[in-house]
Chains A and B, each alone.
Chain A
Amino acid sequence: MLTLTPQQLEMVQRPIGEHCFLEGKAGCGKTTTAVERLLFLMENGVPAHQILIYVPQRTLAQPYRQALAVPGVMAGGAVNILTLGGLARRTIETFWPLVVEQAGFGQPDEWPVFLTLETAQYFMAKLVEPLLAQGFFASVNVHPNRLYSQILDNLNKAALVGFPHTEIGERLKSAWSGSAGQLSIYDDAQTCANLFRSFCLEHNLLDFSLQVEVFVRYLWQNPLVQETLQQQYRHLIADNIEEDAPVSHDLLRQWLPAFESAWLIYDHGGGYRVFLGADPLSAYALKSACEVQVTFETSFVTDACLQRLEQTLLWTFGQPPPPPAAEAPAPPVIPLFERFYPQMLERVADEVTRCIQEDGIPPSEIVLLAPYLTDALRFSLSNLLEKRQIPLRSHRPSRALREEAVIRCLLTLAALAYPQYLPPKSFQDFDLMTALLQAIDDLDAVRACLLTNIVSRKNDGLPSLSSFEQIQADVQERLTYRVGERYERLRRWLEEARAAEPEELEIFFVRLFDEILSQPGYGFYHNERAAELTANLAESARKFRLAFRESMNVSLEERNREYLRMVQEGLIAAQYLRSWQAEQEDTVLISPAYTFLLSNRPVQVQFWLDIGSSGWYERLFQPLTQPYVLSRRWQAGRQWTADDEAQVAEQNLQRITLGLVRRCRQRIYLGYSEYSAGGYEQRGELLRVLQDSLEGFVQAI
């Protein structure tokens, strides 16, 4: 067992059978205590399968998962770690027949299909595209893909906040303070949401919003279901409830009396997932439902110096000034100010190196934080650190599958097997060259180019490959016979696939990988990354296939074509959660600031990159949706104004700066360049706040 303070120990060993509300700032040891409590419960005879760990998103359960992964801990069944979505889905799967007609699904004899974000976006696109041509959303300037995701987002908000989805448009309209001409977009958004919901009901499709609604409105209200759940889960640990949505809190409030024991854990200053429906106030209201209420005050993370920084930050945000200090500590903040962006990155890399080599700080105790993590930033820093022999890993946001060279290789080869799926004239020799370069081992770029120039054919606009034997002998020699042999085998395989009846794409990709690309002599042989990406692609194609019901009358050909088009248009993301937790741990981490805040992990040293950027505190601006207006707290009929906006920016700034400081043990480096990567002068508010509070830090001595 870890060394716990007497207060923590007392908490862990409290009698089983209480309902307890544990609160405190980040870094006070709440989750550490709760993890010990979990182990305590199990050691004291509570069967693991009766315990429910309930979190707003999966990453927040990481400390529990780690504790349970220790050999010998998990005896007598598995602890259930669930989110609201997970619980909803599991319950719907079990009790589907009870709800299918009541919830208005169109096919009572069929099982449900759970849509992924991508397949939901696909169907949304299918329904909305014709409306765009009719002039829907004419007054907004947004890429259609983002329109679709915002309409889905509105549906999710309605489900998570708990109001009928038919009210979305009216709510947004009544809060609108801009030009009346813009109001019609909310009507359009409502029409699209309605259309999508009817389509889902008709075909038994459940997107996230419908899963939550069906669970909350029908299944949870059903006594049989409630009883089953109450019997199944006897003990609850709900962590980070401040990051969860109101319907989740409603559920907990109703369920709470039935739990034999329950811990609700609340983090002061949280609420980072507001744009995903989080509502810290409705979470805090659960406090009164618990008979035991405990607050942890002391931080185990920050030292006196960082605590002083926290106080001066609070003072900048309008709280009373910190008490005068007896001596003059140096601020735990080190500015790295440069003129140009790449210079700042170089400085950061130097300082990271110094921290590791001179101060002996383990790489895993260093995190590089940016408001947005672009590929260019990650790539630049990873190059700079690689030169200094420092490994870097990233929590990178999802990106389109087609960005991956391996995926592009597979798509190009698929195009050769199924040229009929391609839009006319879209096949490019450069793609063939890079596909061959990757597919055939020992083939270099020059020969790949030579080979492409010779074998690439277009018959009636459709691409095909000619055989190696047809090439002149001297050129064959230039290409080498070994390459020729491998090329020929690949070509014949594609030819056979082309001649045969079309098959499901997922099967095609897996076969291509198994039978050719992963074989000795080919590029994916012993290439884990390529295997993983091929699996991702096949999995995404499979999910896409499963989303279609027979009742939709969509042929295999049409589905395959649609799938390839979606990947090409970037709608399909490589967002399969890979086990980044299991990656080598002793590396420097680079992460978007919010992702780091939601990973519950303090570190010794933080680097804040690009503190001049406004991305640190600006909320996500999306013209079709509005998390605050669609929240439960919003007064009907009130208008959302620029003052509200300014207040939110200030709150975000406060939340993020304090959140980060509370998760830092030693010091913070501030990376700033006068000009941003794009060459613009940067003057974000974070810069001002830091300036003010550092002045305060020094003055208040």
Chain B
Amino acid sequence: MNIQLRPAQLEVTAYRSGKMGVLAVPGSGKTLTLAYLAAELLTHTTLQRGQEILIVTLVNSAVDVFTQRIRALLEQRGLLPLNFRVRTLHGLAHDILRERPEVVGLDERFVILDEAECNRILESAVKSWLHQHGDQLLDYLDEALTPAEMRKIQRKDLPELVQEIASAFIRFAKDHRMPPGQLRTKLDQLPFPLPLLEMGASIYADYQRSLTYRGAVDFDDLVRLAYDALQWDTQLLERLRQRWPYILEDEAQDSSWTQEQILRVLVGESGNWVRVGDPNQAIYETFTTANPKYLRHFVHEAGVIQRHLPNSGRSTLSIMELANQLVRWTMTQHPIQAVRDGLQGPPFITPVPADDPHPNPPDDPAQIHLHPKKQTVEEEIKTIVHSLKRWLPAHPDWTVAVLAPTHDLAIKVVEALKKENLPFEDSLLRSSASTRRTAQRLRDILQALADPLSANKLATAYVAWRLEDYEDPLLRSQVISDKTLLQRCAQVETYLYPTYAEDWLAEICPPQGEESPAIPLAQQETYYRLARFRQQMHRWLDAILLPIDQLVLTLQGDLFAEPAELALSHKLALMLRQASDANPQWRLHNLAQELAVIAENERRFLGFSRDDNGFDPQAYAGRVVVCTAHKAKGLEWDRVYLISVNNYDYPSGAPYDTYKPERWFVRGRLNLQAEALAQFEWLIAPNETAFPQEGQATLQARLDYVRERLRLLYVGITRARRELVITSNTGRRGDKQPALAFVVLSEYWKKVHAQPAT
């Protein structure tokens, strides 16, 4: 690995101590620069025994990428790859809590529940709240609702909405480190009732009780409790400061207040802290309590060295120009003054210097296609599929992605590609394909074991058992024919456990015997294959008496040989065991269902394959990668389709825009989540803020949403290396129009370049 850093990068890697804030642009090599800086520090500073350089990043996949990069750099310098630790913030919080769990009321066996289990707990808390107090929300529903609409809403939409509000509420409470008991006391002191807060507090208390009963914490608790531990235990803090003399933080724009505080406390007044991020790419505000303002404030703090990484070799000049124009327009011309800070520069994106070994791709303004025309969702997808159909054969070695604002729309695109037999890759939407494949095999077999009477499930399990053969074009038909045979077995016991009187297998393909007439070879082979499967099923059916982890480990031994598969199935075994402990009423079919959720792509599960440890678009050249614009962060493709850029998915704050968080059935289209959180904020500091008037928070939330969506558009545009296509649609009800920013950009483009017809 021969690395030639650019001048701006060299300025960053020359750092040796103090606090430094680095604002970077997309494609400027943040990760590489930070990894290089870590290697520099490990080479040029003397660490004491037990000291490490701590690198904190956002997601698990980045941990592996960082680790490998730093290792390679150190090995290149002839150094042992030691004395550094790469962690996500949650991983770091876990490390801190493990030091002294009892300081924050945990014992050594504390369990971290995954998202699915937390959602289940929350769902049941919401259900029971609605059951008891559901009528308290009636006041918030639109009076004009018909009885039929009302029934539907109470059955489906309302529980979903309450769960969303409760989830945000709990996260907010934890970010502000307010336990349910304290919240209750504050509420009891109020002279007037606040129904939304009452609802949130009650569900929060119930949710937290359930966690306590399991001796468990959720991810937000990890962060909150780690911060508490550092606050309360000064010696622990001192020891950790000693252990981590340098903290390097990547993706700092996505830190929440508590997350930033944890690092701030760990660094201390005179410590060494490097924060790298791009506030223009902060796109997690809606789901988390993150906010890019924290990083912006940091770089302007006294004593903080400010650096920029403005050079990017990723895209053509045209694409960079378009992205920069979006920033400039937002800063100076956005019709709503308040959101003009949504995107900011400098730094603006600048091409790499002329002598750079990785120059920008040659410019081709003709490959910027901006089509702000009115079309239905179906028409938009059709247009894109049609375009890809022409484009793919001409660019077999290029990479391409379709980026949708929502998961559902991305799935629709996948379906359309499937229909047209176009090659696609959807693992960024959920678990990686190989993770799914492993989960699916286990699921198919567990389902057969949970219901041994079913011939269909047995046949499916047979395919799972012979999956390698099924995937081999030469053997596939054989597997299918065996499967079909098994499906026809009317009484499964006559195959799996035959008696003298009835032996299904012997009847359909009798084995070669001394006295029987010659049996065709193919039939004999079928017999032996199915007899072997029968033996295998005997072994597995014997194992259904074992606890679930041991049952899965039994299957593991018989099915998998690849290290990554073995590791994944081991992890799945432990996960199922945890699920079974948390839900003692669950039996084999529920546990098989749990695997199905992973196998069928409804929940992301981190496996061990290459894609789980960092997606590499280059590996999918010639195939269409479909994912959400959010998941595309950090990645790049030669050609990018940015779809559904309308005033619903990318609103601009105009009076005719509509907003996802504002539900049609809620009175005055209030954003109840925002209203609840605003009241909560007031409750925490009643003297500093005025009591929020109803509707005020809804309007404020719109502005936040507009800002975030401008940044999402910016992220989408900057994923493209050479070619960019942006399209829009009229939404589900046909009343949406192209987003204002999109219209403005396309007019700008028309003015600057004469756009050829496509």
Contacts and interface: CB of A to CB of B under 8 A. Distances in A.
Interface of A: 135, 138-144, 146, 150, 177-179, 182, 185, 339-343, 375-376, 379-380, 383-384, 403, 405, 426, 428, 430-431, 434, 437-438, 444-447, 449-450, 453, 478, 480, 568, 614, 618, 620-623, 626, 641-643, 645-646, 675, 677-681, 683, 688
Interface string B496-519: 110100000000000000000000
Contact of B589 (A178, A182, A430, A450): A430
A376 B497 contact: no
29 contacts: A138-B179, A141-B110, A141-B221, A142-B106, A143-B214, A144-B213, A178-B104, A179-B231, A340-B570, A375-B549, A376-B570, A383-B557, A426-B585, A428-B587, A431-B587, A445-B452, A446-B493, A446-B496, A478-B491, A618-B108, A622-B107, A622-B108, A623-B105, A623-B107, A642-B99, A646-B239, A677-B571, A679-B571, A683-B85
A5 B150 CA distance: 92
Contacts of A146: 107, 109, 215
A621 B108 contact: yes
Contacts of B101: 621, 623
A675 B239 CA distance: 26
Contact of B545 (A143, A405, A444, A675): A405
A-B pairs, 8 with minimum CB distance? A642-B236, A140-B105, A340-B567, A642-B235, A621-B108, A405-B545, A143-B215, A342-B566
A646 B573 CA distance: 33
B233 interface: yes
Contacts of A340: 563-564, 566-567, 570, 608
A428 B585 contact: yes
Contact of B492 (A142, A144, A376, A446): A446
A449 B564 contact: no
A430 B100 CA distance: 42
A621 B544 contact: no
Contacts of A403: 547
B82 to A, nearest CB: 8
Given A376-B573, A614-B98, A177 B566 contact: no
Kindly name the residue among B213, B491, B549, B570 whose own CB sees the greatest number of chain A CB atoms within 10 A.
B570
B493 A437 contact: no
B211 A339 contact: no
B105 A339 contact: no
Contacts of A444: 493, 496-497, 541
Contacts of B228: 179
Nearest to B492: A446
Given A341-B570, A450-B493, A141 B105 contact: yes
B428 interface: no
Contacts of B233: 177-178, 641-642
Interface string B544-558: 111101100110110
Contacts of A139: 105, 179, 181
B584 A379 contact: no
Kindly name the residue among B101, B235, B499 whose own CB sees the greatest number of chain A CB atoms within 10 A.
B235
B743 interface: no
B72 interface: no
Contacts of A480: 499
A386 to B, nearest CB: 10
Given A143-B215, A376-B573, A683-B85, A342 B547 contact: no
A679 B605 CA distance: 11
B576 to A, nearest CB: 10
B577 interface: yes
B235 A135 contact: no
A144 B216 CA distance: 12
B567 A620 contact: no
A674 B216 CA distance: 26
Nearest to A144: B213
A384 B233 CA distance: 45
Contacts of B566: 340, 342-343
Contacts, number: 181
Nearest to A379: B550
Contacts of A135: 181
A455 to B, nearest CB: 14
B322 to A, nearest CB: 40
Contacts of B98: 614, 618
Nearest to B560: A342
Given A178-B103, A428-B585, A623-B102, A677 B570 contact: yes
Contacts of B567: 340-343, 675, 679
Nearest to A342: B566
A345 to B, nearest CB: 9
Interface in B557-588: 557, 563-564, 566-567, 570-571, 573-574, 577, 584-585, 587-588
Chain B's interface size range is 35 or more
Nearest to A139: B105
Contacts of A177: 103, 232-233, 235
B408 interface: no
B243 to A, nearest CB: 10
A430 to B, nearest CB: 4
A679 B567 CA distance: 8
A285 to B, nearest CB: 30
A179 B232 contact: yes
B215 A141 contact: yes
B571 A376 contact: no
Contact of B453 (A430, A453, A623): A453
B453 A342 contact: no
Given A177-B232, A444-B493, A478-B491, A140 B545 contact: no
A675 B232 contact: no
Nearest to A568: B584
Interface string B131-174: 00000000000000000000000000000000000000000000
Contacts of A150: 107
B216 A141 contact: yes
Contact of B106 (A438, A445, A623, A681): A623
B102 A621 contact: yes
Nearest to B179: A139
A375 B216 CA distance: 21
Contacts of A626: 102
Nearest to B108: A621
Given A139-B105, A178-B104, A438-B545, 13 more contacts: A140-B106, A142-B106, A142-B215, A143-B214, A182-B103, A340-B563, A341-B570, A379-B549, A444-B496, A450-B493, A480-B499, A645-B236, A683-B85
A219 B499 CA distance: 69
A434 B545 contact: yes
A272 B564 CA distance: 37
Contacts of B564: 340
A621 B106 contact: yes
A642 B239 contact: yes
A446 B449 CA distance: 9
Contacts of B544: 434, 445
Nearest to A621: B108
B463 interface: no
Nearest to A444: B497
A219 to B, nearest CB: 35
A383 B552 CA distance: 12
B524 to A, nearest CB: 25
Given A142-B212, A146-B215, A478-B493, A376 B106 contact: no
B50 A688 contact: yes
A146 B111 CA distance: 13
B438 to A, nearest CB: 13
Contacts of B415: none
B179 A343 contact: no
A178 B553 contact: no
B574 A437 contact: no
B63 to A, nearest CB: 7
Interface string B222-239: 000000110111011111
A349 B213 CA distance: 38
Contacts of A645: 99-100, 236
Interface in B50-88: 50, 63, 67, 85
